[in-house]
Amino acid sequence: MAVEAGAGEQLPFRVAFDPERGQLVLMVTVGMPPRQRVTTQVICSAEDAACQVTLQRHEARLRGQLADMIAEAAVRHLGVDPHRLEAAVAALSDPASSVPASSILHGERGVDHPAPIGPPGL
């Protein structure tokens, strides 16, 4: 099976092509060790691929909307500074970051006021 996408990257999924069967194979790692498992789905046709792309993009859009709603609620109801929230999100998203999110959110340990990096309007 020839790997096409996701190989060598630190992603919980990959897409491979099975030349013998002429189909794509989607492998998704679900959960955390020790209960981690890999699910496999076969994509047999262009139509099936189009449906999967549509589904994944729709779910990504919904998750993005959910993230925006959580951020808005945190600012409105928890009094979180929107710039600090976006800076903390960026730090949590960066595997090389060693700054605790709480330090960014609360201005501890020399993290004064990070520059705005998130979506406008927060």
Model confidence pLDDT, tens digit, residues 56-67: 999 999 999 999
Q: Quick one: 88 exposed, middle or buried, by C-beta within 10 A (0-12, 13-18, 19+)?
A: buried
- Is the pLDDT at 10 greater than 60? The verdict is yes
Confidence category of residue 8, pLDDT binned at 50, 70, 90:
low
Instruction: Find out whether 81 and 117 touch, Cβ atoms under 8 Å.
Output: no
Alpha carbons 115 and 47: distance in angstroms, whole number: 45
pLDDT at residue 95, as a whole number: 87
* Mean pLDDT for all residues in the chain: 86
**What is the total residue count of the chain?**
122
Alpha carbons 93 and 78: distance in angstroms, whole number: 22
Amino acid, single-letter form, for residue 37? R
- Is the pLDDT at 28 greater than 80? The verdict is yes
